Amino acid sequence: MDELVNLVVEKTGLPKETAKTVVTLVLDFLKKKLPAPVAAQVETVLSGKGMTGAVASALDDGKLDANDAANLLGGLLGGKK
């Protein structure tokens, strides 16, 4: 999240605390609107774990199945969310 806050500061000139408030507000809004599995992946990526962490979360049961893949893709291919 710090990277995103710094980008907002750089692009807008806002003070860092204001940018952090804005980024937090937008991310909270998006997480409420996204399907739960996608919101969880967004949180994982923003926590600094990156996509490796997102895949690791999907593999909690030790295997990657179709449901895990669908959750990682977040309906990008037109499937149900």
Residue the block writes with tokens 């937090």: 24
pLDDT tens-digit map of 2-59: 888 999 999 999 999 999 999 999 989 988 998 888 888 888 777 766 555 556 555 5
Q: What is the pLDDT of residue 49?
A: 61
Q: What is the pLDDT of residue 56?
A: 59
Q: What is the pLDDT of residue 79?
A: 53
What is the rounded CA–CA span in Å between residue 2 and residue 46? 9
Q: What is the pLDDT of residue 41?
A: 80
Q: What is the pLDDT of residue 20?
A: 94
Domain locations in the chain as residue ranges: 1-33, 38-81
Q: What is the pLDDT of residue 58?
A: 58
Least Cα distance to 26 among 49, 50, 9, 4 occurs for: 4
Residue 70: pLDDT above 50? Answer: yes
